[in-house]
Every structure is written in C-alpha cells, then in structure tokens.
Amino acid sequence: MTDTPPENLELLYEGKAKKVYQTELPYEVLVWFKDDATAFNGAKKGQIHSKGLLNNAISSLFFELLDSRGVKSHYIRKVDDRSMLVKKLKIIQIEVVVRNIAAGSLSQRLGLPEGRVLAHPVVEFYYKDDSLGDPLINNSHISVLSLATPEDLKYLTEQSLLVNSILKEHLLARKIKLVDFKLEYGFSDKEILLGDEISPDTCRFWDYDTNEKLDKDRFRRDLGNVEEAYQQLYDRLKG
C-alpha cells in the first residue's frame, strides 16, 4: 500500500481529490487519489478514511469495463492501491452530467421530487471553472466561449449516453441504481478520450431496493457511514 504520494515525480496539478504527477514518458501521468472530501464547491471539507483507495479501485473497474465495451479513455492501468497510470490529456473545459433519476440540483431547479425516474436520460453541460462555481451552460454558451465545436459536442453527448447505457446495465445486475454522474473529457493528440474518474465522488448510486445512498451524498448531507457506503459499492461491483 502507498499512503504517501510519490516523491520522485514532478507534481503537475493538485485538485480537490487527486494529485497528478508527470512520469518519465511525456504523454503519461500518474493520478494519486486522496482521502480529502469536499462538497458545495469546496465550502464543506473533510476526510473520508480510505476514500482514495476505494475511488482508485472503483474507477479502475469502471474504466476496464468501458474499455471492454469500446469506450476509449485515458486509463492505462492501476499501478497500486492509490494510483493509476493514464494518458495525458488536454482537458475540455466542459463537465458532462447525465441524469436518469431526479436528485440534487435537478430536483431543486425543476421542482421534481427526488427519486422520480426521468422519461429519458437528461444530458447537461457545466463550465469547468471553480472560480465561477462550475455554472450550467448550453450549446450557445459553449459556442461563444469556444469550449468545443458542434461536432465535438455531439460526440461528447453520444459518448456520455453510451457510457450511461453500459454502466446502468452493469449496475442493475448488481441491484444498484445509477441516478446521475459527471464525466470529463480531453484531447490526446486529436482524439477525444474519457478522463478524470468514475466513482462515488462523481456519481450518485442508490441501492435498488431501499434507495440507500452509496455515494458522496452521505458526506454532503451528514448521513454518516460514508466509508462503509463506498466499501459496499466496491464489494458489490467486485462480487
């Protein structure tokens, strides 16, 4: 187990939940997962014991699943308990959110009761800018800000819906609902690849029978048993 970040690699970036290090190869970086937890754009902060280990393991499982189904990502391999090797990306400043069930900000904005199953998946775009609070944006905003071409935006939408379909099916077999999730993408040369992570930090997962939350909402809402929820999700994915 490696509970300390690598000392022999150059730190390129440190985010809320991860550190990114340059490897010996210019086109590969090491992502090291932290136990730090934040919510509400950093207004709430804390730590979740073993979160980094579990998010690394869960993300690795999901990336490997998606790779087996033809979805290209930055993922190369899991290196150790806390880190994965990935392709270096030029990140597109758009967060793509796919929603299957009303929860979180969608419930608040549209007045939908939490838990209502949507008639079809809803795709939303958010401007990836912490200083602005990652605001909701539309196609016109994306064009004005030159964040993506119409062709690239179409690809992001189609890929995100494909990811949704694959993950929903996989999770349903494990009695887990995929409520919603956030994806990030970036360019590797001229190719767009799925990046970041797919974990309880970036998705909402509910137990199929009880709607028990198995994600970071347990931290956001002070529900307790956060690590236990992450661990249960991992165990069910592995099981």
- Would you kindly state where each structural domain of the chain is located, as residue ranges? 10-87, 92-225
pLDDT in tens, 58-101: 999 999 999 999 999 999 999 999 999 999 999 999 999 999 99
What confidence tier does 34 reach under pLDDT thresholds 50, 70, 90?
very high
Query: Can you tell me the mean pLDDT for 105-133?
Result: 97
Paired with 30 in beta bridges are 21, 85
pLDDT reported for residue 33: 97
- Least confident segment among 3-17, 77-91, 187-201: 3-17
CATH T-level topology, domain 92-225:
D-amino Acid Aminotransferase; Chain A, domain 1 (3.30.470)
pTM > 0.85: yes
Question: Contact at 8 Å (CB) between 180 and 91?
Answer: no
CB-count burial class (<10 Å; 0-12, 13-18, 19+) for 181: buried
**3-class SS at 62?**
helix
Write the class of the CATH domain 10-87: alpha beta
